[in-house]
Amino acid sequence: MNMTEFRWHGRGGQGAKTACLLLADAAFSSGKYVQGFPEYGPERSGAPITAYNRISDRRCGVHSNIYEPDYVVVVDEGLLESVDVTAGLKESGAIIINSGRAPEDLRPLLGGYRGRICTIDANRISREILGSAFPNTPMLAAAVKVSGVVDPEKFTADMEESFHHKFASKPQVIEGNMQVLKRSMEEVQG
């Protein structure tokens, strides 16, 4: 079975769970079998949260947390100092971190991880385009670009359709989010 697994790390209120579920929707729209689910604990705004995706060409009967992900997405760079974000991460995959720093500058914070490190300044991109820091949309785009789990052009078209449905009464939100997606795919490093 060809399966790709993601683990998302963020803080409550940053949209990591939402980005995880949007990735599941995008993969489903591409004809894949998907799982997208958060790990619930004592969540509150600002508390660390974890979410997971399984994306496969065939139905998957496994329903547990993901302990050996292909990709890890870190929505809050501050978590590198308090959470073992690389635990179980396959070195054939990658870690994608919301940071304005170069990928190699973050390697010392990753507990000996020798695989691919990718960075994107999701906060800056969303502030420049949307006027506020909403890191989940740029991180979602970076995850798609780095992993190749869904075709980027199909992903962009599916997201535009989703935004039109979700924000029908706010066309400025649709345009801004589409700009964020496209720019994020261009700017992810690593």
pLDDT in tens, 96-148: 999 999 999 999 999 999 999 999 999 999 999 999 999 999 999 999 999 99
Q: Rounded to whole angstroms, how far apart are CA atoms 17 and 15?
A: 5
pLDDT digits (tens, 9 = 90+) for 61-110: 888 899 999 999 999 999 999 999 999 999 999 999 999 999 999 999 99
Q: What is the pLDDT of residues 6-22, one digit of tens each?
A: 999 999 888 899 999 99
For residue 96, the cross-strand partners are 73, 118
The pLDDT of residue 1 is 62
Strands 33-39, 3-11: parallel, antiparallel or unpaired by DSSP? Answer: unpaired
Close Cβ partners of 143 (under 8 Å, ≥ 6 residues apart): 6, 19, 23, 71, 73, 96, 149
55: Cβ contacts below 8 Å, ≥ 6 apart: 3, 4, 5, 6, 23, 24, 27, 32, 33, 34, 35, 149, 150
